[in-house]
Structure 1
Amino acid sequence: MSICVLGASGFLGQGICRELDLRGIDWAGIDRSSNDKRIHKISLDSYDDQVLEILKGFDCVINAVGSLKPRDFRVNPDAALALGMANIDVISRLVVESEVSRFVHLSSGGTVYGECKRPASESDYASPISWYGRLKWIEEMVLIDRLKTSSTLLSIARVSNPYGNEHTLSHGFVDVLVNKLKAKIPFECFFSSGAKRDFIHINDMAAQVVDLATSEYGGVFNVCSGNSTSLESLMSIVEKQFPDVIKFNEIEVSQEDIVVNDLSNSKFNSHFGKVVTVDVEQYLIEQLNAIKDKK
């Protein structure tokens, strides 16, 4: 089997490519910049015949493109939405016209379900409350619509909140926290009381995505740890070892703030067997111990 990874140099793409190497799976990537000779340096911002020809040579395509972040919608929501729609239009057209057998799209399990009163499963209604989450849901709908008459098998991986990519330390709550501590920079965080997130280590995320890509299963799958962790508990762990560098500010919940993100991994486990993932609290403790040992 051969796999092409779109966004291969990004936060998620790097982890997926490492997992493909570990499994000995033939792969190439497409991204706007990279030092890896296996990654074609091409932007996916516009339709490109060169990309189409590349995709035709692969059995499967994984879309890990993540050019937009939630903060982009806070700064300029109209521009962010327009760019996001343009990107998914280009990618969906390329996938349809390349006629690849398999397409795995990485979506956002951290936002598409909205507020979670219980562990959200794939059969639950999507109910995004932020514009970033709405775009991720729109992307899913565009792909389902564009591929409905295609022979391409579509899987949508709703990834929770990934962490642990040591090469991209400016992405996500956990990695930013660890990076600040390593650099001896004070860390100030703002979240609502009771805030919880399902965190998944980058290696576990990549393993689940590659499991999905090399399977015959289509449809939506949560890619997550299946455990929701309190942000206050993470802060408490840090405060015990670094009491002078952490500042926590409780904020009122806005219309676009998710307090609790809680996902079920029952569907994935039923298809692939029970998945054991890295515990985010244990990971954080190990990172803090390593930082203290270097002092």
Structure 2
Amino acid sequence: MRIGVIGAHGFIGSQLTAALIAAGHEPVPFTIENPVTSEQGLRMAKSLDGLLWAASSSTPATVGQALDECDVFRSSLLLLQDSGIKRFLFMSSGGTVYGNGPAPHGEEDELKPVSDYGKLKAAMEGVARDLWPSATILRPSNVYGPGQLAKGGQGVLGHWLQAIVDGEPPILYGDPAVARDYVYIDDCVRAIIAAFERDDAAGQTINIGSGSPTSLDELLQIVCRVTGRRIDPRYEKGRPYDNQSTWLRIDRARDILGWTPETDLDDGIAAMWAWKEGR
């Protein structure tokens, strides 16, 4: 398949590009410098079998123009409607769209985002469903791994490991008992590729996570074990955009995509730490 990747220079987009090649597909990158909505980009889109939207100008800490980004998304999809693309995938956020409702969260649960970032992703899901009914919406939760930078208040492991490399104490925000769902980047991109390859994924909304919660305190213990260092974090109050839980049910991913996560936290964090140390 010839698959366009909007956000090809991002954490997920860049890892996916390499994985698509390994899986025998042809990735077509779209970036800020080469947007899919440019005259050239729209011409290229007509030759695509599938298209992934993994771009975002916002993170949980920086979102401030949610309506603008959602409007750009809507106008972009309107421009692409006559492209002939058979499969469209939108990367949402399983870590924010469910809000603080009872966990684990299933795809049929009502969306109650409490952060502006979660509200943005929920609104973009609505646009995708309205303009592209056959779209596949993926809701990954706290994707981590090699290649993830510490920026925008997103990705606790990216920030923690970078702090350790810099000889600084990592910051633990909020209650250390708060548990979240973490999924390794290689597992995430496998799910994306499966969603393109499986016809049954069309029109579906699918959670992508580990299927189990890990508290911040447990996560810190794993980081200590993997890095072999004594770590004394700095404790700070929780931030207004932090969810209390992001534990996802992943039965639908197994049933529709034939997908289950393969990388446990110890191995995933070890690979991420090796990458951080080697930079």
Aligned residue for 1:29, secondary structure, equals strand
Q: Deviations over 1:122-147 (max 9, x none)?
A: 11111111111011000010111112
Aligned residue for 2:92, secondary structure, equals strand
Which consecutive residues of structure 1, in runs of 5 or more, have no partner in the other structure? 33-40
Q: Is the 8 A contact 1:130 1:257 kept in 2?
A: yes
Decide whether aligned partners of structure 1 residues 99 and 227 sit closer, same or farther in structure 2, where only a CA change above 3 A counts: same
Which structure has the bigger radius of gyration? 1
Judging by fraction of residues, say which structure has more strand: 1
Q: Is the 8 A contact 1:237 1:285 kept in 2?
A: no
Aligned to 1:251: 237
Which consecutive residues of structure 2, in runs of 5 or more, have no partner in the other structure? none
How far apart are residue 157 of structure 1 and its match?
A: 0.5
Identity %: 25
Aligned to 1:160: 141
Q: Report whether the alignment pairs 1:64 with 2:45.
A: no
Aligned residue for 1:262, secondary structure, equals coil
Decide whether aligned partners of structure 1 residues 49 and 207 sit closer, same or farther in structure 2, where only a CA change above 3 A counts: same
Decide whether aligned partners of structure 1 residues 248 and 238 sit closer, same or farther in structure 2, where only a CA change above 3 A counts: farther
How far apart are residue 274 of structure 1 and its match?
A: 5.1
Q: Report whether the alignment pairs 1:200 with 2:183.
A: yes
How far apart are residue 84 of structure 1 and its match?
A: 1.4
With normalisation by structure 1, the TM-score equals 0.83
With normalisation by structure 2, the TM-score equals 0.88
CA separation in 2, counterparts of 1:201 and 1:103? 23
Aligned to 2:128: 143
Q: Report whether the alignment pairs 1:27 with 2:19.
A: no
How far apart are residue 9 of structure 1 and its match?
A: 0.8
Q: Return the letter of the residue paired with 2:34.
A: I
Q: Is the 8 A contact 2:46 2:85 kept in 1?
A: yes
Q: Aligned runs of 1:1-295 on 2, under 5 Å?
A: 1-32=1-32, 41-43=33-35, 47-73=37-63, 77=64, 80-148=65-133, 153-166=134-147, 168-170=149-151, 172-216=155-199, 217-218=201-202, 219-239=204-224, 241-243=228-230, 245-249=231-235, 251=237, 254=240, 256-273=241-258, 275-284=260-269
Decide whether aligned partners of structure 1 residues 246 and 285 sit closer, same or farther in structure 2, where only a CA change above 3 A counts: farther
Q: Is the 8 A contact 1:155 1:220 kept in 2?
A: yes
How far apart are residue 273 of structure 1 and its match?
A: 2.9
CA separation in 2, counterparts of 1:117 and 1:43? 39
Aligned residue for 1:114, secondary structure, equals coil
